Amino acid sequence: MLTLEWESEGLQTVGIVVIICASLKLLHLLGLIDFSEDSVEDELEMATVRHRPEALELLEAQSKFTKKELQILYRGFKNECPSGVVNEETFKEIYSQFFPQGDSTTYAHFLFNAFDTDHNGAVSFEDFIRGLSILLRGTVQEKLNWAFNLYDINKDGYITKEEMLDIMKAIYDMMGKCTYPVLKEDAPRQHVETFFQKMDKNKDGVVTIDEFIESCQKDENIMRSMQLFENVI
C-alpha cells in the first residue's frame, strides 16, 4: 500500500512527483531502464542499435541525453513499440500496473495529452524523448512549464478551477484509496481552493504561467520534488 502524509497542499506536490515517477515506470515497463546499479554502464557499453544518425543527432541537440543514451532508449522503444508510437491505451495499461489499487485512467489520459504535443493521438519516440528530457534533466523552469501544460487541459494559457479540479480528482482516483490517512471525498475541491488562494495573485479566477511558476518556486516541497529523479538514466 502506498503511504503518504497528506497536508492541505500535498496533492499539488504529489501531482508533480507522480508525473516523474510514472514516467520512470513507463521507461521501466517498456524495458528502457533497469534500476540496478550496473545496468546503465553495461547498457552504454553494449548498445549497438541501428538508427538514423541524422535523427539521433537532431534529438541529441534538442534534448539533454547523449547519443549513446538515445541509442539505448531507441532500441528499447522499438523493441516494445514496433509501430514506433505509443497510443493512449498503452499509457492506461502501464498506469494500471503502477497504481493497481486505484483508477488511473483519467490521469493517464491527461499525461498522454501532455506528451502528445502535436495532438495526433500517438506519442512518437521524438515526443517521448523531448518530454522525458524535460522531466528528468530539465531546469526547474522547464519542468514547471511542462507541469503547467499538463494542468492547462484546454491549452488556452490559463489554469481554471475546473481544470485543476479535474486533475486533482484524477490524482485522488489514482492514489487516494491507497493513502494514509484516507482522504475525504471533498479533499480535491478543498485543495483547489487552497491552490487558487495561493497562486491566483490578482484574484481573476484563473492562474497564469507566471503565477504558477512564481508560486511553485516559493514552495520548498515542490522544489525538492524537482530534484528527486535527476540523472536516473
155 and 206 in a single domain? The answer is yes
Mark whether 132 and 165 lie in a shared domain.
no
Residue-level pLDDT at 5: 39
Specify whether 24 is located in the same domain as 120: yes
Give the domain extent around 132. Answer: 18-29+54-138
Q: Where among 121, 138, 155 does a domain terminate?
A: 138
Contact between residue 167 and residue 151 where contact means Cβ atoms under 8 Å apart: yes
Last residue of some domain: 110, 138, 166? 138
CATH number at residue 93: 1.10.238.10
Q: How many domains does the chain have?
A: 2
The answer to whether residues 176 and 190 belong to one domain is yes
Residue 8 to residues 13, 100, 192, 226: CA-CA distances in angstroms?
11, 25, 10, 20
Residue 180 parent element (H or E): none
Same domain, yes or no: 96 and 155: no
pLDDT at 46: 37
What pLDDT is attached to residue 174? 83
Closest C-alpha among 182, 134, 190 to residue 164: 190
Q: Is residue 154 part of a domain?
A: yes
Question: pLDDT means per 10 residues in the chain (233 residues)?
Answer: 40 50 56 45 40 67 89 80 83 81 89 89 88 88 91 94 92 69 72 90 96 90 71 53
**35 assigned to some structural domain:** no
Neighbours of 67 (CB within 10 A): 13
Give yes or no: residues 23 and 123 share one domain. Answer: yes
- Predicted pLDDT at 55: 75
Asked if residue 2 belongs to a domain, the reply is: no
Residues 197 and 163 in one domain: yes
The CA distance from 149 to 141, in Å, is 12
Quick check: is 80 in a domain? yes
